[in-house]
Amino acid sequence: MGSEANTHILLISYPAQGHINPLLRLAKCLAAKGASVIFITTEKAGKDIRTVNNIIEKSLTSIGDGSLTFEFLDDGLEDDHPLRGNLLGYIEHLKLVGKPFVSQMIKNHADSNKPFSCIINNPFVPWVCDVADEHGIPSALLWIQSTAVFSAYYNYFHKLVRFPSQTEPYIDVQLPFQVLKYNEIPDFLHPFSQFPFLGTLILEQFKNLSKVFCVLVETYEELEHDFIDYISKKTIFVRPIGPLFHNPNIKGAKNIRGDFVKSDDCNIIEWLSTKPKGSVVYISFGSIVYIPQEQVNEIAYGLLDSQVSFLWVLKPPSEELGLKEHNLPDGFLEGISERGKVVNWSPQEEVLAHPSVACFITHCGWNSSMEALSLGVPMLTFPAWGDQVTNAKFLVDVFGVGIRLGYGMIENKLVTRDEVKKCLLEATTGEKAEELKKNAMKWKKKADEAVAIGGSSDRNLDEFMEDIQNRCNIFFEEVKLVHSN
Ligand code: UDP
């Protein structure tokens, strides 16, 4: 393609694991396509990322024909500052310190003859588009949830269909192609949500959509064709480019990761390899969701009663949240012996890709959902909040790869050990298990094709790079014209 070496791209991520993972994967994909990429998140996250993943700040790593460099933004707060436990307050603070930092960085790069051609952000930092706009630099958004969820927010923001309200909390939502029940919409938009401010924050991104020239989506054309088409017709330039982690161009860079927590040093993959093919249940609720202790007990007894082998990620809650660490029932660990493993964190992509894994009990975060879908792993859906409840609906009823196990937080229902056992048996043996696996393998094949050279996502990434180049050329032509007059 020629001039990608001059393509300097800045990516800025909100410091949450579920935000960093997809944006960092995009950073690697763009570098593999020849761009010089700088990835920024906060210094607090940077401390963990550097330690856990042996990353050196400001040191350039070659990927394909391009490169990736990490830089970290100091938010000026002590590690135990109370603002860190107040999401809304922290996001406002980050905007205050982030705007001048990014602005200065843009100036420095322009002064040293390496001007940014494009700036990309992800949800919770919509101000990045404002800074880019002030400097006349094209910007793009990486949407890290599904296109169906994007459509739900879009319809809510523009008041295109009726959503549940205080007076009508149980109405259905008539999205194009899909009717969602009150408990299947992204629940930050529901009047019973415990976190309505997160809905407001996500909607901020929709206010700023006119400032981005493109919305890159962590999905693939074949998976969400109808919703992608629907949103494209709304004059939003959408480019599906996922599943990013699965992109063959970045396989060689798989050790460049943004994990906050080190995977347990207990040979997880070696242990999986001692198990028969398709025999292990993997359980994880992502990086933030906190399951009540009573629910942890029921899952534990369900696992014991069903006699399956399992790998369970029981991540201690982050300190800022002030939540109690979970206890496993007395004698649980002795009872399972070699049949199961409980860990703080796992190398999830490798775990899901392992042939011993039969199915995944998941909270349905979009990253986890995409990872399992594109690795052909059936799921037992156990969502908590936000888009997880919508993802669960699609995994079960639309993509046909899941069995509904848990309910979203607004239902506030306990899933009993008997239900856990029943669903586990259903997902691992018999006709239903076969059907789920068949569908999961179908989506895996389509994901493989989408990211292969010339596939839909690969073409979209190439065209995105071309878009950036064209916009830059126009910009420099205009600057030349101004100077010559
Ligand atoms: N993850 C991991 N190891 C674990 C648990 C999770 O590497 O033990 C990764 C997982 O692969 C995914 C991310 O953390 O990329 C979680 O993102 P997701 O959107 O699924 O959930 P969130 O944490 O944002 O709720």
pLDDT in tens, 467-483: 999 887 776 677 666 66
Looking at the fold, whether 247 and 269 belong to one and the same domain comes out as no
Looking at the fold, whether 182 and 239 belong to one and the same domain comes out as yes
Looking at the fold, whether 301 and 239 belong to one and the same domain comes out as no
pLDDT in tens, 331-365: 999 989 899 999 999 999 999 999 999 999 999 99
Looking at the fold, whether 347 and 443 belong to one and the same domain comes out as yes
CA of 313 to the centre of ligand 1 (A): 10
260 in a domain, yes or no? no
CA of 18 to the centre of ligand 1 (A): 6
* Of residues 44 and 335, more confidently modeled: 44
Atom of ligand 1 nearest to the CA of 16: 24
47 in a domain, yes or no? yes
Nearest to 280 by CA among 341, 343, 328, 331: 341
Atom of ligand 1 nearest to the CA of 284: 5
Residue 291, pLDDT score = 94
CB-based pocket (< 6 A), ligand 1 = 17-18, 21, 284, 286-289, 313, 345-346, 348-349, 365-368, 371
Q: 3-state SS string over 155-220?
A: HHHCCCCCCCCCCCCCCCEEECCEEECCCCCCHHHCCCCCCHHHHHHHHHHHHCHHHCCEEEECCC
pLDDT in tens, 127-180: 999 999 999 999 999 999 999 999 999 999 999 999 999 999 999 999 999 999
- Quote the CA–CA distance of 105 and 111 in Å, as a whole number: 10
pLDDT at residue 485 is higher than 70 = no
Looking at the fold, whether 201 and 271 belong to one and the same domain comes out as no
pTM for the model? 0.96
- Quote the CA–CA distance of 396 and 314 in Å, as a whole number: 24
45 in a domain, yes or no? yes
Looking at the fold, whether 274 and 163 belong to one and the same domain comes out as no
Looking at the fold, whether 248 and 363 belong to one and the same domain comes out as no
Question: What share of the chain in percent tops pLDDT 70?
Answer: 97
Residue 482, pLDDT score = 66
Confidence of residue 5 (pLDDT cuts 50, 70, 90): low
Looking at the fold, whether 327 and 227 belong to one and the same domain comes out as no
pLDDT in tens, 274-325: 999 999 999 999 999 999 999 999 999 999 999 999 999 999 988 777 789 9
Which residue's CA is the closest to the ligand 1 atom numbered 2?
348
For residue 92, the tally of other CB atoms under 10 A from its CB is 12
Residue with tokens 């602005």: 103
Query: Mean pLDDT for the chain?
Result: 94
Looking at the fold, whether 318 and 288 belong to one and the same domain comes out as yes
Atom of ligand 1 nearest to the CA of 352: 11
Looking at the fold, whether 249 and 178 belong to one and the same domain comes out as yes
Q: Mean pLDDT, to the nearest integer, of 21-50?
A: 97
Which residues are known to be catalytic?
Answer: 19
259 in a domain, yes or no? no
Residue with tokens 């048996």: 425
Looking at the fold, whether 155 and 300 belong to one and the same domain comes out as no
pLDDT in tens, 70-111: 999 999 999 989 999 888 999 999 999 999 999 999 999 999
Q: 3-state SS of the chain: helix, strand, coil percent to 5?
A: 50, 15, 35
Domain harbouring 344, CATH code: 3.40.50.2000
107 in a domain, yes or no? yes
Q: Are 213 and 138 in contact (CB under 8 A)?
A: yes
In terms of residue numbers, what domain contains 75?
Answer: 4-254+453-484
Residue 229, pLDDT score = 97
Q: Which of 269, 289, 367 to mutate to test the pocket of ligand 1 (most atoms within 8 A of CB)?
A: 367
Question: For the chain, what is the domain count?
Answer: 2
175 class by beta-carbon count within 10 Å (0-12 exposed, 13-18 middle, 19+ buried): buried
154 in a domain, yes or no? yes
Residue 1, pLDDT score = 41
Atom of ligand 1 nearest to the CA of 369: 20
pLDDT in tens, 402-446: 999 998 998 889 999 999 999 999 999 999 999 999 999 999 999
117 in a domain, yes or no? yes
CA of 240 to the centre of ligand 1 (A): 20
Looking at the fold, whether 9 and 122 belong to one and the same domain comes out as yes
Residue 364, pLDDT score = 98
Q: Are 386 and 186 in contact (CB under 8 A)?
A: yes
- Helices 221-232, 430-451: axis angle to 10 degrees equals 60
CA of 20 to the centre of ligand 1 (A): 10
Residue 320, pLDDT score = 74
Point out which residues pair with 73 in neighbouring strands. 42
442 in a domain, yes or no? yes
Q: Which of 13, 14, 17, 218 to mutate to test the pocket of ligand 1 (most atoms within 8 A of CB)?
A: 17
CA of 349 to the centre of ligand 1 (A): 9
pLDDT in tens, 234-270: 988 999 999 999 999 998 998 999 999 999 878 999 9
Range 85-89, long-range pairs (CB < 8 A, 24+ positions): 85/320, 85/321, 85/322, 87/197, 87/198, 88/197, 88/201
Which residue's CA is the closest to the ligand 1 atom numbered 24?
18
Which helix H or strand E contains 419, and what residues bound it?
helix 417-428
